């Protein structure tokens, strides 16, 4: 008879033993300002169009996502051969590291930045080389290039605009990394529809440039998990080797195609979200003792005197914000994304109340 295992941990890969699972708070009853989502409902007619569509859900999806790639190619003015679709851009980060990272290879990141880069590096045995942002806000191009010289350095990820700081980095600096590093440079443009700046036109010049995009933010499809990579066809073909065969379900593929047919409606939502972000930024800047960082995305990073206490007080009033914990360089901060106009007004009222309460104590 086989012995019954008493200690499953002993069989787990060492990297996994150290991992802390990503725990996103799920509090649907709250006003959600914690995940940089689009707060508006889908454009009128899109939901109905998705449901009446005759999807053969008893069949596997189109593994290559042919129709969706055609629609994305039109939207991004690229070619379908230079596109790879993923189950959220999260999955695509993992596929990039499975292709170019691994044991003995390293990934250069610029903390503070999106936490999943580091998590997927661990999972793929890739070493993380952090090159912190200058003052927490600007890329240190000289140090990043220095780090990229190492033979182990295979991938550099630049998040532009950066989550969680909201900073938009100048394109010239990123292009220097692309030209001079000779390594894979991934530019995560999850929030590019808000910053209205992109390096997509540069793809044709550089086989080592990869751009990561998502439908989760400006297109309001976070619940459907849909992202895509853009690059030269040869680069994309390499990453396609490690992609699970049916990684994007039929429903999400159809929703992505539909969304790209409502660009006018989305553009109007994006402009409203930008205006709301601006109002929130102004409101927060008027509160004493709060440092508010500049943003080009749909979220704002700020530093109150007592981040944990304020996050708790906000939650008591029904507002879920993201407590970023201790960020490299910047220290303890909170992050909020723009909600609906009435939600943002309510948030500013609540935070004014909390701040006057805390100064009275």
Phi, psi of 226 (to 5 degrees): -145, 120
Of 213 and 355, which has the nearer Cβ to ligand PLP? 213
Nearest-approach distance from CB 215 to ligand PLP, in angstroms: 7
Of the candidate residues 33, 65, 90, 243, the single one contacting ligand PLP (CB under 6 A): 90
Residue-wise DSSP of 123-178: HTTPEEEE-PPBTTTB--HHHHHHHHTSTTEEEEEEESSPTTT-----HHHHHHHH
Tokens linked to 67: 């129709």
Tokens linked to 171: 């394109």
Residue 110: CB atoms within 10 A of its CB come to 28
Of 88 and 112, which has the nearer Cβ to ligand PLP? 88
Length of the chain: 361
Instruction: Give the separation between CA 23 and CA 325, rounded to whole angstroms.
Output: 14
Sheet holding 291-292, edge to edge: 291-292, 299-303, 331-337, 322-327
Of the candidate residues 222, 287, 315, 348, the single one contacting ligand PLP (CB under 6 A): 222
Size of the residue set binding ligand PLP (CB under 6 A) = 13
Applying CB under 6 A, the span of 86-94, 229-237, 266-274, 313-321 interacting with ligand PLP comes to 86-94
216 in contact with ligand PLP (CB under 6 A) = yes
DSSP label of 205: G
**Tokens 């394109």 found at:** 171
Tokens linked to 229: 């990579």
Instruction: Give the separation between CA 145 and CA 100, rounded to whole angstroms.
Output: 18
Of 163 and 323, which has the nearer Cβ to ligand PLP? 163
111 in contact with ligand PLP (CB under 6 A) = no
Of 159 and 350, which has the nearer Cβ to ligand PLP? 159
Tokens linked to 10: 């002993």
Of 82 and 86, which has the nearer Cβ to ligand PLP? 86
269 in contact with ligand PLP (CB under 6 A) = no
36 in contact with ligand PLP (CB under 6 A) = yes
Applying CB under 6 A, the span of 20-28, 85-93, 259-267, 279-287 interacting with ligand PLP comes to 85-93
Residue 187: CB atoms within 10 A of its CB come to 27
Instruction: Give the separation between CA 273 and CA 164, rounded to whole angstroms.
Output: 17
**Binding letters toward ligand PLP, positions 119-148, x by CB under 6 A:** ------------------------------
**Binding letters toward ligand PLP, positions 159-178, x by CB under 6 A:** x---x---------------
Of the candidate residues 39, 88, 256, 307, the single one contacting ligand PLP (CB under 6 A): 88
Residue 130 pairs in a beta bridge with 109
Q: Which residues bind ligand PLP (CB under 6 A)?
A: 36, 88-90, 114, 159, 163, 188, 190, 214, 216, 222, 227
């Amino acid at each position: 008879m086989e012995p019954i295992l008493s200690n499953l941990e002993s069989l787990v890969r060492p990297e996994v033993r150290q991992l802390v699972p990503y725990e996103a708070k799920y509090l649907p009853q709250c006003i959600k300002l914690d995940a940089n989502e689009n707060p508006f409902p889908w454009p009128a007619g899109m939901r109905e169009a998705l449901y009446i569509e005759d999807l053969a859900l008893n069949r596997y999806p189109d593994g290559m996502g042919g129709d969706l790639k055609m629609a994305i190619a039109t939207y991004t003015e690229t070619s379908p051969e230079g596109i790879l679709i993923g189950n959220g851009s999260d999955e695509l980060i993992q596929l990039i590291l499975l292709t170019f990272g691994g044991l003995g290879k390293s990934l250069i990141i610029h903390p503070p930045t999106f936490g999943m880069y580091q998590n997927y590096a661990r999972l793929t045995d890739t070493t993380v080389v952090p090159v912190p942002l200058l003052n927490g806000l600007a890329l240190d191009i000289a140090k990043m290039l220095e780090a990229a010289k190492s033979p182990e350095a295979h991938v550099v990820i630049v998040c532009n605009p950066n989550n969680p700081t909201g900073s938009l980095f100048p394109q010239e600096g990123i292009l220097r990394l692309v030209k001079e590093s000779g390594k894979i440079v991934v530019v995560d443009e999850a929030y590019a529809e808000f910053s209205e700046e992109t390096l997509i036109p540069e793809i044709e010049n550089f086989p080592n440039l990869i751009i990561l995009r998502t439908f989760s933010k400006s297109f309001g499809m976070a619940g459907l998990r849909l992202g895509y990579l853009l690059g030269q066809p040869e680069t994309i073909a390499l990453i396609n080797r490690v992609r699970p065969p049916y990684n994007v379900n039929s429903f999400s593929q159809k929703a992505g195609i539909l969304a790209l047919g409502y660009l006018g409606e989305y553009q109007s939502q994006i402009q409203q979200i930008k205006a709301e972000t601006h109002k929130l930024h102004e409101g927060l800047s008027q509160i004493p003792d709060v440092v508010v960082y500049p943003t080009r995305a749909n979220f704002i990073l700020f530093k109150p005197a007592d981040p944990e206490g304020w996050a708790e007080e906000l939650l008591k009033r029904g507002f879920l914000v993201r407590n970023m914990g201790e960020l490299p360089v910047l220290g303890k901060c909170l992050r909020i994304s723009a909600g609906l106009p009435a939600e943002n007004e309510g948030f500013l009222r609540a935070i004014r109340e909390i701040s006057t309460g805390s100064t009275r104590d």
